[in-house]
Amino acid sequence: MGIDSRDPTMQALYDDPEDTKNPQSKPPPSQMFSTKQVAVGTFFFGPLAGSYYLKKNFAAFGRPAFGRQFFSLGVLYTMAYLVVMLSFLENDGVAILLTIVTTVLAGTIAAKSGMGTAAVAAAPSRQLHSWGHVIGAGILSVIGIFVLGFVTISLLSMFGITFDFEGLSE
């Protein structure tokens, strides 16, 4: 009694996973965010979202370690961003300027790293994330920003640095 080689279930067990002729052995396409998705997501959801989008893009380009380092720097940037925003709460111009600078920075990094829509179209092994994924990741990022804000304010208050929130109600 032998193994019937025509049985596709049994044959799949013996197929070489590196076999590129077998369509079942091809890895699923890696998904990434377009430059426009990175910029729009960063503008509406903040620098933490932009760092996440770029981290995922670097991983899709085969550089996951760099993506993790970039995300770590993005968390530090977000904390600095929060300190600046808290320092200038009464001045809307600073908040808008900082948001625009962050958006341009994230979009430029995505474009200069070859993460544009043309790069995705040129490589059939890559696909764009949906806008729903951009929004979902952005909403989680906003929650993360609140947590980081709490951590940042707590750390600063340990060193005696406080912010005057009472003057905002006037």
The arithmetic mean of pLDDT across residues 53-78, rounded, is: 91
The arithmetic mean of pLDDT across residues 128-152, rounded, is: 91
CB 33 within 8 A of CB 128: yes
The pairs formed by 113-121 with CB atoms below 8 angstroms and a separation of 24 or more are 113/54, 113/57, 113/58, 113/61, 114/61, 115/32, 115/33, 115/34, 115/35, 115/38, 115/54, 115/57, 115/61, 116/34, 116/35, 117/34, 117/35, 117/36, 120/32, 120/34
pLDDT (tens digit per residue) in 79-131: 998 888 878 777 778 888 888 999 999 989 888 887 776 776 677 777 888 89
Query: What is the maximum alpha-carbon separation in the chain?
Result: 87
- 17 in a structural domain: no
- 151 in a structural domain: yes
pLDDT of residue 30: 80
Q: State which residues form the domain around 54.
A: 31-169
- 13 in a structural domain: no
The arithmetic mean of pLDDT across residues 63-84, rounded, is: 91
- 11 in a structural domain: no
- 110 in a structural domain: yes
- 70 in a structural domain: yes
- 101 in a structural domain: yes
pLDDT of residue 105: 92
Say yes or no to pLDDT of 2 above 50.
Answer: yes
CB 122 within 8 A of CB 64: no
pTM exceeds 0.85 = no
Q: How many CB atoms lie within 10 A of CB 111?
A: 16
Q: What's the total number of domains in the chain? A: 1
Cα–Cα dist 162/92, whole Å = 20
